[in-house]
Amino acid sequence: MLLWTLCLTPLGLLVWRGFHDELTANPLEFIQHRTGYCALTLIMVTLSITPLRRITGWNRIIQLRRPLGLFAFFYATLHFLTYLVFDQFFDFAAIVDDIAKRPYITVGFPAFVLLIPLAITSTKGWIRRLGKRWQLVHRLVYVSATLAVLHFFWKRSVKEDVFEPLVFAGILACLLAFRLARGRGAELLRSALRRRSGELAEN
């Protein structure tokens, strides 16, 4: 319940500001920024769950990863729908033109699309169906996160205000470094075990 309350608070605040006419002079841009910011923040928090579990030894925290990931997808969907419905008015020709000509849209669109299969396959049923392939599919979240950070950076670079995107880039770099180090460590451990097994077999 606490997790749901925290994750839905940004949406509640947006609705409250809308009813009180406090969405700034450019409501559309304000809503797009808030929903996109929430989506990116929740993606980073979701990716932080595994490192936190390994560092702290708190295994139950892994239970938060799925709902956090789904809330990230929820806000990303709101972000995209705001663009699709209120910015472009379902003008798909204009959207295609946007994707081709505006760099932040070019990377933002695939960043959202890559989240769709992750959300669909997040259930226990899909985990069973995909088996080991499930982890391979869900590694796409790192690609989506990288594209989302680029999307945010290029969007803000127009206004020469890239501090927040760089903070997200730094967080993502740390998370990627942790994953690569863990993968390298696991490979070294497997190699050591294979060598040890070979030595024992020879003896």
Q: Residue 203 has what pLDDT?
A: 54
Q: Residue 172 has what pLDDT?
A: 94
Domain locations along the chain = 2-202
Alpha-carbon separation of residue 152 from 34, 37, 86, 175 (angstroms): 12, 8, 20, 18
Which of 157, 145, 142 has its CA nearest to residue 102?
Answer: 157
- The overall longest dimension of the chain from CA atoms, in Å, is 80
Q: Residue 186 has what pLDDT?
A: 47
Q: Residue 100 has what pLDDT?
A: 87
- The tokens describing 171, both together, are 């967080």
CB burial readout 14-31, b (16+ within 10 A) else e: beebeeeeebeeebeebb
Residues 35-48 have pLDDT tens digits of 999 999 999 999 99
Three-class secondary structure of residue 120 per DSSP: helix
> Residue 29 and residue 107: Cα distance in Å, rounded?
18
Q: Residue 175 has what pLDDT?
A: 92
Residues 78-113 have pLDDT tens digits of 999 999 998 888 888 988 998 888 989 999 999 999
Q: Residue 192 has what pLDDT?
A: 47
> Residue 40 and residue 5: Cα distance in Å, rounded?
18
Mind giving me the DSSP string for 150-186?
HHHHHHHHTTT--HHHHHHHHHHHHHHHHHHHHHHHH
Q: Residue 157 has what pLDDT?
A: 84
Residues of the chain with pLDDT under 70: 183-203
Reported pTM: 0.87
* CA distance from start to end of the chain: 58
What single letter denotes the amino acid at residue 61? I
Q: Residue 35 has what pLDDT?
A: 96
